[in-house]
């Protein structure tokens, strides 16, 4: 990457965190490992065509590559070179394919590292159904839920030590001596930090999103009945934030019962909370009662995959990692290494993440074009292998052919 690589202009962030987007923004892409190059090529084709069709010559994305992952390791000896991080900050908006994480030992997850180093504190995953997709539930069309998952804290903070390590033993001794805590001998130990500021900024973003889109409710999902000072505190800080900063726009579920005889006052957003295990039942049994969810990291991880399965699987679930100064849009599945280079997998997740990216730029006409083209392609029963094996009379196409079919339908 040298300055000649950047043929467009830079996006900037205003004082109120609003984006200033030129008509020719430089946007970074990480191709990703495994199936990454296949789904990225498909996504780029779709996004470029949508922008060209929506705005003719007036707008165009100027893509530049960010070297991260296996490709970066091969070329530079590092998986996450400092230059790539610097350019992601500079670009403000980037999009990425999946990156490999070795299990157990070795490098920590690159995805987690990126979220932490760029302070991308909100993982946003809108989950909705596209007609024609096979689903394991009877009424997948009732699901339209956006999850705001806290991205930087909780047991994902990376504060953990292996069983019998010096650090784990020292900490266990300290806990026994000072707090009479029962810690089994030789246990591995992980720490679960959840802070007031971290919880409040996530809930703030979730409520602002709900207001901006005219949605009916925000549900705080937690396991506060057991983990009172982390998950329970998340719930309490969420309600506190809503009361302090959004008092005229929100009402709690309890207030609806106590003050308004069970009827939500016009124009108000309901703030409610659910215990995480109960929420897994709720999204299966009564998904239509939920629109936006705000939740700590681990709950959000499980819940977003479970919800994605309800509407047709991870191949179609988009995601974004967003902070105050930059945002990275990404496929929610992994690198599926056995399919690498076969031009076979479903590019839907990255394509829809790209549509979220266009929304984020406020290029909503292009974003809508992408979603509508996807919907029509699915209704025409043109799908990749993962969906074809669950559908009768579908036409199975390659990853690149799926993208081409979408472009043909724009």
Pick 8 or 334: Cβ nearer ligand NAP: 334
Question: For this structure, is 156 an active site residue?
Answer: yes
Closest distance of CB 200 from ligand NAP, Å: 26
Closest distance of CB 337 from ligand NAP, Å: 6
Using CB under 6 A, which of 314, 322, 328, 356 touches ligand NAP? 314
Site residues (CB under 6 A) for ligand NAP, limited to 37-56: 39
Closest distance of CB 335 from ligand NAP, Å: 4
Using CB under 6 A, which of 296, 386, 394, 404 touches ligand NAP? 386
Using CB under 6 A, which of 54, 84, 99, 123 touches ligand NAP? 99
Report phi then psi at 176, rounded to 5. Answer: -65, -45
Report phi then psi at 278, rounded to 5. Answer: -65, -35
Closest distance of CB 315 from ligand NAP, Å: 4
Query: Which residue in 282, 328, 333 sits closest to 305, CA to CA?
Result: 333
Report phi then psi at 139, rounded to 5. Answer: -130, 70
d(CA 409, CA 79): 38
Question: For this structure, is 223 an active site residue?
Answer: yes
Count of residues of this chain found to bind ligand NAP when the rule CB under 6 A is applied: 18
Closest distance of CB 158 from ligand NAP, Å: 15
Contact pattern from residue 332 through residue 361 relative to ligand NAP, giving x for each residue in contact according to CB under 6 A and a dash for the rest: -xxxx--------xx--x------------
**Paired tokens of 310:** 């309800």
Closest distance of CB 350 from ligand NAP, Å: 8
Q: Which stretch binds ligand NAP (CB under 6 A): 1-9, 97-105, 247-255, 257-265?
A: 97-105
Using CB under 6 A, which of 111, 151, 299, 304 touches ligand NAP? 111
Residue 338 CA from chain centroid, whole number: 24
Name the residue number minimizing CB distance to ligand NAP.
334
Instruction: Give, in order, the Cα–Cα distances in Å from 306 to each of 30, 70, 120, 145, 372.
Output: 26, 29, 22, 12, 24
Cα radius of gyration (the chain): 22
d(CA 173, CA 392): 60
Q: How many Cα atoms occupy the beta-carbon half-sphere of 192 within 13 Å?
A: 15
Question: For this structure, is 277 an active site residue?
Answer: yes
Question: For this structure, is 338 an active site residue?
Answer: no
DSSP state letters, 46-86: HHHHHHHHHHTTS---EEEE---SHHHHHHHS-SS-HHHHH
SS3 content of the chain, % helix, strand, coil (to 5): 45, 15, 35
For binding to ligand NAP (CB under 6 A), which residues are involved? 35, 39, 98-101, 111, 314-315, 330, 333-336, 345-346, 349, 386
Catalytic residues: 156, 223, 277, 301
């Amino acid at each position: 990457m040298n300055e000649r690589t950047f043929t467009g202009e830079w996006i900037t962030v205003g004082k109120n965190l609003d984006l200033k987007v030129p008509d020719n923004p430089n946007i970074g892409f990480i191709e990703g490992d495994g199936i990454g190059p296949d789904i990225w090529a498909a996504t780029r084709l779709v996004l470029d065509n949508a922008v060209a069709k929506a705005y003719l010559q007036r707008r165009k994305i100027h893509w530049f590559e960010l070297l991260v992952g296996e490709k970066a390791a091969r070329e530079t000896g590092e998986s996450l070179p400092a230059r790539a991080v610097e350019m992601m900050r500079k670009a403000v908006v980037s999009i990425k394919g999946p990156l490999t994480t070795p299990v157990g030992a070795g490098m920590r997850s690159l995805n987690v590292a990126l979220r932490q180093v760029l302070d991308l504190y909100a993982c946003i995953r809108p989950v909705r159904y596209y007609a024609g997709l096979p689903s394991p539930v009877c009424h997948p069309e009732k699901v339209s839920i956006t999850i705001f998952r806290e991205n930087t804290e909780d047991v994902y903070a990376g504060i953990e030590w292996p069983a019998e390590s010096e650090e784990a033993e020292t900490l266990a001794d300290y806990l026994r001596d000072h707090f009479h805590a029962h810690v089994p001998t030789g246990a591995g130990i992980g720490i679960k930090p959840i802070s007031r500021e971290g919880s409040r900024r996530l809930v703030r973003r979730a409520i602002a999103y709900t207001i901006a889109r005219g949605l009916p409710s925000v549900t705080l999902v937690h396991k506060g009945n057991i983990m009172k000072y982390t998950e329970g505190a998340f719930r309490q800080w969420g309600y506190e934030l809503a009361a302090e900063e959004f008092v005229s726009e929100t009402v709690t579920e309890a207030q609806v019962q106590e003050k308004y005889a069970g009827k939500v006052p016009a124009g108000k957003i309901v703030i409610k909370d659910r215990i995480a295990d109960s929420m897994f039942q709720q999204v299966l049994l009564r998904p239509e009662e939920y629109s936006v969810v705000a939740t700590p990291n681990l709950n959000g991880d499980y819940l977003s995959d479970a919800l994605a399965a309800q509407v047709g699987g991870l191949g179609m679930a988009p995601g974004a990692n967003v902070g105050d100064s930059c945002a990275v849009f990404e496929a929610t599945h992994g690198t599926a290494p056995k399919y690498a280079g076969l031009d076979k997998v479903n590019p839907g997740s990255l394509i829809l993440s790209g549509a979220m990216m266009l929304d984020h730029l406020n290029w909503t006409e292009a974003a809508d074009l992408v979603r509508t083209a996807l919907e029509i392609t699915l209704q025409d029963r043109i799908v990749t292998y993962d969906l074809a094996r669950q559908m009768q009379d579908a036409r199975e196409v390659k990853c690149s052919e799926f993208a081409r079919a979408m472009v043909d339908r724009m």
